[in-house]
Structure 1
């Protein structure tokens, strides 16, 4: 059995328990999670919000965080401008970034969600409209969602992760968390490979 904690990580919180900066330290998970022995399964950028998973089970942590498992992650993305059909097509087919072509994403326009206000608020310009997308990816390049939307011409203004695999944010408010118990199958012990006996030459 494993403990899994679902946290709604607030804006401008590091997805780790310590900050290496000695001056002007930033808020960390230690400000929100007091349960000992749990560690983040993956990460969420400092300037992103939403679902972050923590667990006390190394195997479950690997299953969630490993890029090899291609666990889908869904984000609500507020972008600058009204997203065109061509931009949606590019996101769905894969976007060329400096570190390679992304896998095809699920990209769907959505109405502005009814969510908590951000502090500080997103910059607002009367002359520039904004729009929202639900974007699901199955890989984890650095700052991937922001780079994808920028590559198709729509800079990200706000980014909220709402789902990782089967786990969703639900009605958790920023800083709130809930713990669930997960039945993790035991992994059979690996049998050491047989070594070939070396024969001494005579």
Structure 2
């Protein structure tokens, strides 16, 4: 499932960094899948507590990054690998679910269509865990 992140990075994001992110970046644990990356205007967001460090001599910029895998701290490591450390990171969307229209502290209930329960109240056979044979010790 794709995940969309809005990332504030240190410095003005370059076109070459966006191309590198789009092609996939080599990290210590291997190459990432290609991502969809684009520079974006600063979004209207709630204030961060504590605030992101501010330095007059170093500008910041925003990018939208859409990835389809979920390694540990992947987005932060990807932006750092192309020379733009992440200062603020917001997961804006997962699949079809997004933060669109939500204020800080709000939530939205979403009904997820799961397989219907059988009349006896048990889950359908296709969703029950199958019993696995006991493992035997080899010498």
- What TM bracket, shorter-length normalisation? 0.7 to 0.9
Task: Specify every segment of 5 or more residues in structure 2 that has no aligned partner in the other structure, as ranges.
Answer: 117-123, 134-139
CA RMSD of aligned residues (A): 1.9
Per the TM alignment, residue 183 of structure 1 is displaced from its structure 2 partner at its CA by 1.3
Per the TM alignment, residue 92 of structure 1 is displaced from its structure 2 partner at its CA by 0.3
Q: Secondary structure at the match of 1:150?
A: helix
Matched, 1:115 2:39: no
Matched, 1:177 2:107: yes
CA distance in 2, matches of 1:82, 1:134: 14
Deviations 1:80-129 (A, max 9, x none): 00111111111000000001100000001000001111111100100111
How is 1:71-150 mapped onto 2 (pairs within 5 angstroms)?
71-150=1-80
TM-score (norm 1): 0.57
The alignment of Structure 1 onto Structure 2 pairs a total of residues equal to 124
Task: Specify every segment of 5 or more residues in structure 1 that has no aligned partner in the other structure, as ranges.
Answer: 1-70, 196-202
CA distance in 2, matches of 1:97, 1:141: 10
Q: 1:154 aligns with which of 84, 93, 99?
A: 84
TM-score (norm 2): 0.82
Deviations 1:133-171 (A, max 9, x none): 000000010000000000000000000011000111112
CA distance in 1, matches of 2:80, 2:51: 20
Q: Secondary structure at the match of 1:128?
A: coil
CA distance in 1, matches of 2:107, 2:125: 32
Per the TM alignment, residue 185 of structure 1 is displaced from its structure 2 partner at its CA by 3.3
